[in-house]
Chain A
Amino acid sequence: MTTTSILTTIASLIAGSAIAAVGVVGLVSSQTSAPSQSPTNANQPVVIDYGSN
């Protein structure tokens, strides 16, 4: 096995692992971060939007 192929193997493993790690970190952080919106207070007399855009 040449030096080039060894370096390529290492580089690809690092790149592939980095993409996988980004995904995993994203998943984990999304599960542990605070919610962006507080739960709606159902006692408020409001017409609830179906959605927004």
Chain B
Amino acid sequence: MRAQVARPGRLETAWVCLLGLLLLGPALAPGYVLSYDMVWVPDLALTRDALGLGSGLPRAVPSDAVVAVLDELVPAVVLQKAVLLGAVVGGALGVVRLLPPDAVVPRLVAGAAYVWNPLVVERLVIGHWPLLLGYAVAPWVVLAARRWQRSAAVPVALWWLVPLGSLSASTGLVTGLLLVVLTARREVRRWAQLGALLLLANLPWLAAGLLHAGSATSTASAAARFGLHAEGSVPAPLAALTLGGIWNAEVVPASRSGALGWLAAVVLVPLAAAGVGRLRAQLGERTWWGLVACWTVGWLGACLTWLAPGAVGAVAAVVPGGGVLRDGARLLVLCAPLLCLALGAGAGRLLERVPEPARVGAALGLLALPLALLPGVAWGAGGALRAVDYPADHAAARAAVQQQRPEGDTVLLPFSSYRAPAWNGGRKVLDPTGRYLGVDVVQDDTLAVSGRLLPGEDPRAAQVREVLAGGNPRSRAEDLAALGVGAVVLELGAGASVAVAGEPWHRGTELVVQGLADVAPVAVPRTWRAVMAVAWAGFVGAPLVATGLALRRRARPLAPG
């Protein structure tokens, strides 16, 4: 059966937008949402770190560079809202298109399930917005992959969707896997196209990762911390069936840990199972089996990080970049399209078995089901997401830094990764100071999970930590300068910190900026610059060239006869 593709009607669009607005709520107010790894600033600079040329692992490549460029065109405060809303609503609008146009209730249920689930909420709170963009892109990749199955040329949409779904290493792997499973054929030409598309879309983080391969292994024991976890009393594999199971209990909605977590599995899994047969017929064999394969890989992969964290840790300790596999719940992005579509189809089947007079009530209940099973996350993920303004002192500190233009890197004190500033409502966030000031930083990359310290990988961070651990303020300043550190920024009120003697550039209510003298130059190998230049050229150029060629093909007049 040929699968139908239909644009969402006004009702479906309004429904998923309403749910998205309800979920984000105050996060869409003026200001910046700063939560765990979600760090947005008014003007992100295109620093060495953003370009993949810093000393630390390129965890924010290419996402930071993309934002740094786009916030020159659109104010960052607006850009963040667009990204958040797009990440939450965009995928649901794609999922809706995969169901028949006349199946209104199934489309509404599938859309609601794609917006309102633990994966979206938990990743919003922990700040993994590139992963959520990959999640939003996934149904559109499925739609574009179906078009590619019927034609020889790569659809232009894929040249944009795949890079958008590859703004971090783990997201790129998930998007790539989805595309390979859905489009691979036993044809050399197809594999060549697929390889080129995936390589160019993932080139920045791939190239930067290879350049950092020497320091890209991580502690084996950390895998147990970041693998799939149970949510309260709900065992991890069961939580994963309904897209839950993130490692960090702090971002798990309270309702997932108790009876509702169990109820979600008990209700949603049979409902999805009921829709399997119908969905298979609606999607067509190729897409159906592709999505089944994606679901299987996603669920089993996630469960593997729970079942055998030692094996995952061993890989991460030996294979450079292997640590990207530790956070197993990320793989559940692969499960989401099939689950939500099956829920929609199951809802459709259920409705047909309900006597005609009872259908309105039953439809009402089915539409409310995702919300009823995950209450308490509305209006900013239950209060975890709020837009705030940076203190005015940050702008003054940035002005001072930009005026002085420090050589080398900047060290942020206290030397620790995360902050919970009062002006952010005490909510945790990766220290945003470096990004706000627009400088390259050496930042502590040690992570504390449940009070246990997990060592980082950045060799320069280790050197700075060693310097800060000894000496006196003057010797620390000299030793830091010898390491190529040109400025030190102390955040007041962020806890105790060692002192460093430097020239005061700014002393405000929040930040103290000091400049250091006789700074050793920070050398970036010329080969690194060349490699990353090629990588960025490929990443940016591929969609532009593909679009240009497609436009030229369309503009070319048809041959006579």
Contact = CB atoms under 8 A, between A and B. Distances in A.
B484 to A, nearest CB: 25
B361 A17 contact: yes
Contacts of B363: 16
B323 to A, nearest CB: 14
B448 interface: yes
Contact of A19 (B365, B420, B495): B365
A29 B377 CA distance: 11
Interface in A3-53: 5-6, 8-9, 11-20, 22-27, 29-31, 35-36, 38-53
Nearest to B260: A26
Contacts of A14: 361
Given A23-B368, A44-B495, A51-B251, A16 B420 contact: no
How many A residues touch the partner, as a band? Answer: 35 or more
A50 B447 contact: yes
A40 B383 CA distance: 15
B451 interface: yes
Q: Which of B364, B418, B422 has the most CB of A within 10 A?
A: B364
A4 B377 CA distance: 39
Contact of B358 (A12, A43, A49): A12
B421 interface: yes
B3 to A, nearest CB: 30
Interface residues of B, number: 58
Main secondary structure of the interface of A (DSSP, over half): helix
A5 to B, nearest CB: 5
B364 A51 contact: no
B383 A35 contact: yes
Contacts of B369: 19
Contact of A53 (B414, B419, B450): B450
A50 B365 contact: no
Given A19-B372, A23-B368, A46-B495, A51 B426 contact: no
A45 B365 CA distance: 49
B417 A50 contact: yes
Contacts of A20: 364-365, 367-368, 372
Contacts of B256: none
Contacts of B420: 39-40, 42, 48
Contacts of A29: 375-376
A53 B371 CA distance: 25
Interface in B413-454: 414, 416-422, 425-426, 428, 447-451, 453
Q: Which of B357, B416, B421, B428 has the most CB of A within 10 A?
A: B357
Contacts of B135: none
B118 to A, nearest CB: 15
B36 interface: yes
B146 interface: no
A41 B235 CA distance: 33
Contacts of A8: 355, 357-358
Contacts of B496: 45
Interface string B237-262: 00000000001111100110000000
In the A-B complex, list the 5 residue pairs whose CB atoms are closest, starting with the nearest. A26-B375, A39-B426, A12-B358, A12-B361, A51-B248
23 contacts: A12-B357, A12-B365, A16-B360, A18-B365, A19-B365, A23-B368, A27-B22, A27-B379, A31-B378, A39-B426, A40-B420, A44-B495, A46-B495, A48-B416, A49-B448, A50-B417, A51-B450, A52-B250, A52-B449, A52-B450, A53-B229, A53-B248, A53-B249
